[in-house]
Amino acid sequence: MKCPVCGDDCVKDAHEIIGMIPAVFARCKDCRMKILDKNSPPPPDSFHEPCRCGRRFIDEVFAHLYALLVREGIFSGNEVLREAGSPLLHPGYPFITPPFLPGDSLVLLSRYPDQRVAQMMVDEIPEIRGVVRSGDFIPGVADPGLETPPRSYELLAGCDVRANVFPTKTGPVVIYQQQSTIHIEFPRVHNPKINSVEERIARLRPEWFVDTCCGAGTLGITGARMGVPHVILNDTWYAAAFWAAYNTKVNREFFRVDEVKIHAEYRSLAEYPVGREPVLIAETVGDQEIRVYQGDLHKLHQVIPKVPVLAVIDFFDKSDKVTSGAVIRDWMGQVNGEAFIP
C-alpha cells in the first residue's frame, strides 16, 4: 500500500509486519553490544559502522546522532545522551531485550534538530527513517467539547509513518500511524484497554460495536478481529480517522470482508482537521461491516441504528470525571445499549 506521507512502500499488510517480529531487532553473533549511560555524554568513539548483518545496537545509533548534533553546533558536548531524543521503532511491539536496529527502523522524536540537521540525520545515519520535532504538548488529542483543536508535531525529514503491533487474545493487530499527528501509544504485553474491550465483547456478544474516539483504530480493530458483525470507528481528528481507515485495510485479512473502500485522501482531509457532522471515510464490502467516520462523537448517533450497540469511549483524559460523566450520559440518551470507558 502506498504511503500517504512519502509515497513510498512504508505501509504493508498485517501479516508481513507480524512476520518480521521478533527477528527484525535480534542481534547476530557478530553484533556488538555496549550499553551506554543515558545520563552522561557518550564517551568518544562510542559508535561504529553497522554490523555486517546490517544492524547496530540502539545505544550506538544514539551516540552517532549525538556526535552529529555536536558536529553541527546544536549540542556543546556537555548534554547527556538521552537529550538527543526519544526512539520510536518500526515496527513497535513489546520488547523484552534491547533492540539492534536494521536500516530505516527508527523515527526520532527530538526538540533540537532544525530541518537541515534532520535531513543530515536521515542521509548519514542508516537506521533513521524520519525525524520529528516534538513540543511540550501531546499531538492529535481532542478535548471532547472540541474547544481546543488538536495540534501536530512537525516532520522535519524522512517519513514518520510507522506501525505498532498490539497482541490481542485473537492474535496480533497492526496499527500504523503518522507519528507527528497522533499521540504515542506503546504496545505492552498487558494492555488494560484492549483487555477491557475483549472482556466486554466476550461477555455481551454484541451485534454492533462502536469505537467512538478511535485514534488510529486499535480498539475498534480489536473488536472487528473478534468477529463482531458490525463495527463503527470514529474520530473527530482527521489524522486519526484516516489512519483508522488505513488500518482497517492493513488488517483486512483478519475480517470477513472482500474489500475495504477508502473514500478520502490524507491531504484533502487535513484541510478539515476537526470533524463535526459524521463523514464516511471508509467502509467494507463483504459479510462483516466495518465503517470509519470522521465526526464529533456527540453527533455519531445519526449514523447508528436503533438497535443495542456496545460503545467504547476512550477519552485521552479520563481523570476529568465531570466531562466523561456528561459525555456518557449524552451518549446513553441518544444510543441504545451499553457504553463504557476502557
Q: Give contact residues for Zn ion (rule: CB under 5 A).
A: 3, 5-6, 8, 10, 28, 30-31, 51, 53, 159, 161
Residue among 60 and 289 whose Cβ is closer to Zn ion: 60
Q: If DSSP codes are grouped into helix, strand and coil, which group holds residue 159?
A: coil
DSSP 24: G
Phi-psi region of 112 (alpha: psi -120 to 50; beta: other; left: phi over 0): alpha
- Other residues' Cβ atoms within 10 Å of the Cβ of residue 219: 26
**Residue 7 burial by Cβ neighbours in a 10 Å radius (0-12, 13-18, 19+):** exposed
3-class SS letters over 29-96 = CCCCCCCCCCCCCCCCCCCCCCCCCCCEEHHHHHHHHHHHHHHCCCCCCCCCHHHHCEEEECCECCCC
- What's the grid cell of residue 213? 474516539
Q: If DSSP codes are grouped into helix, strand and coil, which group holds residue 283?
A: strand
Residue among 3 and 18 whose Cβ is closer to Zn ion: 3
Cis peptide bond upstream of 167, omega within 30: no
User: Least distance from C-beta 35 to Zn ion, angstroms?
Assistant: 16
User: Least distance from C-beta 229 to Zn ion, angstroms?
Assistant: 33
Residue among 28 and 307 whose Cβ is closer to Zn ion: 28
Residue among 89 and 310 whose Cβ is closer to Zn ion: 89
User: Least distance from C-beta 53 to Zn ion, angstroms?
Assistant: 3
Half-sphere exposure in the Cβ direction for 65 (13 Å, CA): 33
User: Least distance from C-beta 85 to Zn ion, angstroms?
Assistant: 19
Residue among 57 and 255 whose Cβ is closer to Zn ion: 57
CA 250 remoteness from chain centre: 13
User: Least distance from C-beta 9 to Zn ion, angstroms?
Assistant: 8
- What's the grid cell of residue 342? 476502557
Identify the H or E element spanning 244. Answer: helix 238-250
Residue among 32 and 188 whose Cβ is closer to Zn ion: 32
Residue among 22 and 171 whose Cβ is closer to Zn ion: 22
Tell me the one-letter amino acid at 138. Answer: I
**Residue 163 burial by Cβ neighbours in a 10 Å radius (0-12, 13-18, 19+):** buried
User: Least distance from C-beta 188 to Zn ion, angstroms?
Assistant: 25
User: Least distance from C-beta 132 to Zn ion, angstroms?
Assistant: 13
User: Least distance from C-beta 51 to Zn ion, angstroms?
Assistant: 3
Residue among 5 and 279 whose Cβ is closer to Zn ion: 5
